[in-house]
Amino acid sequence: MSSSRGGASARLRSIRSIPGPFAVATTLTAPSRPDRIEDPVVSGLQWARTAVGIVATVWLLMAYPLAEGREQFVMGKVEDLLIGSGLTLVVGFVAVTAFIVAARSPLGRRYAARLAGPLSSLGAIALGAGAAWLMVKMLKGDIISTADVGYHGILVGLLLVALFIIGGLVCALALVFAVLFTLVALVHGLNSCFRLGDVHELLPALISPLLVWSLFVLGLFDGPDVAAPPVVLYTFLLGGPVSVTALSVWEVRRLRTRHGMTLRGALGR
């Protein structure tokens, strides 16, 4: 009896030791260079800014009616996310490339070798989104369904139904994992500027304003999501870029005064 209880406890501990979506996403998208200087005050303000932005977005959607239907709103957000991600990749790629090229040897090679962190962050988000899309297709029967198998007798049919039910449960669990993983990875990725701090501590503060103002210009050409007064809409639209720029300026100054980091020093000039 004691041995069976011990085996059950061991199995329970092994199940609990399996990393969840939050832990996996945090590991892949949070800055992790061992010798990286991390200021807890800066990190706290970044997370506070992210939290305020999420709360403000939820409040805006709840306080005012949608300008379009729910389906159009969701599809519009997906389209904005794809365009914004593409724009972020282009702006970030150009800025990081310019930073690495401008750095004197051997700093440029050292910075280029640290690009594994940002690339793993972007890859994790793409992997999570792709897995969620695949699980949705599986659950909808677009990839395989009972109609594709055909009839092979009652016993085989019952076995196939059982397999499809088990497969559906597995796909549903995988979908929940993938969605939670992708959401956490996106939040961590946006908050850390996709681990650019692993390349150099100054990069997130220098590049974040470029990204948010680029997205701001993109948002000007898009219609409003909610039927809110213009004052509320433009205040909300400007709040993100202005707060990110102000925090970035303060972060650059803090890195210079507290840790002696300057752009000239980062480039070896």
Q: What is the pLDDT of residues 173-205, one digit of tens each?
A: 998 988 888 888 888 877 778 888 888 888 888
Q: Where are the domains of the chain?
A: 38-63+71-261
Q: So what's the pLDDT on residue 15?
A: 41
> What pTM was computed for the model?
0.73
DSSP string computed for the chain? -HHHHHHHHHHHHHHHTS--HHHHHHHHHS---TT----HHHHHHHHHHHHHHHHHHHHHHHHS-BSS-HHHHHHHHHHHHHHHHHHHHHHHHHHHHHHHHHSPTTHHHHHHHTTHHHHHHHHHHHHHHHHHHHHHHHHHTSS--HHHH----HHHHHHHHHHHHHHHHHHHHHHHHHHHHHHHHHHHHHHTTTTGGGT-TTHHHHHHHHHHHHHHHHHHTS--SB---HHHHHHHHHHHHHHHHHHHHHHHHHHHHHH---HHHHTT-
Model pLDDT, residue 19: 61
Which residues in the chain come in under a pLDDT of 50? 1-2, 7-8, 10-12, 14-16
Q: Give the pLDDT confidence score for residue 179 in this predicted structure.
A: 87
